Structure 1
Amino acid sequence: MVDLTALLTDLAAESEQLDALVAPLPAQDWARQTPAEGWTITHQIAHLAWTDHVARLAATDADAFYATLTSTPGPARLVDAGAESFLAPPHALLARWRAGRSALAADLAAVPAGDKLPWYGTRMSPTSMATARIMETWAHGEDVAEALGVTRPATGRLRHIAFLGFRTLGHSFAAHGRPVPTAAVRVELAAPTGGTWSFGPAGAADRVTGPALDFCLLVTRRRHRADLALVATGPVADGWLDVAQAFAGPPGTGRAPQATADTGTPS
């Protein structure tokens, strides 16, 4: 069982790493295009601020959260519309993002034990919500870093994203309209801090192995499997690498192989 306090500490660290990357940028750099088609750096931070906002509603006012579902333009436009609604000049956006993520941490810590929070197509425990926020912050941080030509160091916080990626195997197939497999998959990843992160039964015939960073890039749909050093053994594992996604909602187009580089839709 993952400790919520430890998760929130890692979420704060992931957010602060991205904050340190964007805070010094001149205003014109916030307008840089990122790999997500049509999204600038401003859109990326606005998306995080908006998602923190709706996560706070889920943690504190379920009725208000459900009201957002009827006031949005539908699933296909939900993510774009959310980011657009939070667009603001950099200094104002930064202040809103900082205040919102701090408030969300306090709200998640205050959720009564055993309660589940409403979310898009599912319900989540506070620990699952915190894990999802780490995943989102890291993934959109990757988009920002790529726009700036920066390579960020991989940290032990990737374990949360790798675990979420493993846990969402069934969702990944369902989100792409494919039957959810019943066969178990073993995942063994080389951790950036040394050692191996393993998920799933050791005796599973279907397996995925490779660097943890590559697996996280795959399940956040930031890289095509052809550009990653991941090895799939067995039909379920192989099919999973085509559809893996750790986030809720539509999969988007994903990223094309770098040899035929194309942009993907944000998530």
Structure 2
Amino acid sequence: MMMQEAQDFQQESDTLAAALAGSDEAIFATTTQFKSWTIEDVIGHLHIWNAAALMTLEDPPAFQAFIGDIMAAMKAGKGHVEVQYEWIDSHANGVRGKALFDAYCDYYPRLAKAYGAADPESRVAWAGPDMSSQSKIIARQMETWSHGQEIFDILGKNRADGDRIRNIAHLGVTTYGWTFRNRREEPPAPKPFVQLTAPSGAIWEWNDPQDDNIVRGSAVEFAQIVTQTRNVGDTAIETTGDTAKRWMEIAQCFAGAPETPPAKGTRHPVT
């Protein structure tokens, strides 16, 4: 039976692909609200790291060569976008625009199938510590969903989120400590009680119930905050207590150096 998280990744990728299906070439040059990346840049970013995720599962030496080249280029001062296009030029026939989107759409089902057949507890290497294959495909779902947000926003489209968003919400909750330690701060204890409403209407809860230390609201908006696609002030998420408030102001569920969440009012659907 296919690993559920791999199915969730497939569905997340299908949802993004459907939003761009049939688009003309000009759409891919559209600048998003994320660091002035274009839609083409976003698709290229997702495609290269999908390729990396398949490499680390099926060909670990190839992944080590890949990540070594990427890290060396970034240490030399090159940015994500420059590095990804160098790789695409060398390994993906230099495709751009709609052709790059087509390559992305051809590739992600292979990734879903491979992880779907993998042992969820098997370990794979990444840029940081090793992780389980289950965690790796959840991370791919999270990145697809979060970077997909800037595409849905700039196109003025609403995304139909399913309860697969629980994977991303759970990742957001479990990276509470990471958010603070990544900023060289001691994570305040206890962790806030988190109560979220799923797209289906189900209520999801994490951590010990407390009356004075709570994060409550929509699971989708919580996921937007922890992936830094929305400022908490642009959502209806409710916080009770200083710890919960501080967490939602700096939450970061992804690896890497501390990132500043978007300023209030800067990330939103275009009308």
TM-score (norm: length of structure 1): 0.87
- Residue ranges of structure 2 left out of the alignment (5+ in a row): 89-93
- Cα root mean square deviation, aligned: 2.4
Aligned letter for 1:162? A
Partner of 1:79: 80
Instruction: Return 5+ residue gaps in structure 1 as ranges.
Output: none
**Contact 1:4/1:130 (8 A) holds in 2:** no
- Residue number among 150, 160, 173 corresponding to 1:166 in the alignment: 173
1:184 CA drift (Å): 2.5
Distance 2:179 2:165 in 1: 19
What residue number does 1:255 align with? 262
| CA shift digits 1:234-254 (9 cap, x unpaired) | 333222112211211124333
3-state SS of the aligned residue for 1:122?
A: coil
Quote the offset at 1:219 in angstroms: 0.7
Partner in structure 2 of residue 35 of structure 1? 33
Matched, 1:111 2:111: no
The aligned runs of 1:19-98 (5 Å cut-off) are: 19-72=17-70, 73-74=73-74, 77=78, 79-85=80-86, 86=88, 88-98=95-105
Aligned residue in 2 for 1:146: 153
Q: Which residue of 2 aligns with 1:125?
A: 132
Partner of 1:206 in structure 2? 213
Give the equivalent residue in structure 2 for 1:226: 233
Structure 1 residues 90-134: Cα deviation after superposition (integer angstroms, max 9, x where no partner): 342123212321222233234345321112222221111121111
For residue 74 of structure 2, what is the amino acid of its counterpart?
Answer: G
Distance of aligned partners of 1:169 and 1:34 in 2 relative to their CA distance in 1, 3 Å threshold: same
Percentage identity across paired residues of the two chains: 30
Question: Deviation of residue 4 (structure 1)?
Answer: 5.9
Q: Structure 1 residues 93, 231: CA separation in 2 closer, same or farther (over 3 Å shift)?
A: same
Aligned-partner Cα distance in 2 for 1:224–1:104: 31
CA offsets per residue over residues 12-43 of structure 1, 9 Å max, x none? Answer: 11111111111211101110001112310111
C-alpha contact 1:50 1:82 (8 A) present in aligned 2: no
TM-score, with normalisation over the residues of structure 2?
A: 0.86
SS of the aligned residue for 2:200 comes to coil
> Residue type of the partner of 1:180?
P
Structure 1 consecutive aligned stretches of length 4 or more whose deviation exceeds 4 Å: 75-78
* Structure 2 SS opposite 1:65: helix
Specify whether residues 113 and 216 from structure 1 end up closer, same or farther in structure 2 by C-alpha distance, changes over 3 A only: closer
Aligned residues: 259
Question: Tell me, what secondary structure is at the counterpart of 2:144?
Answer: helix
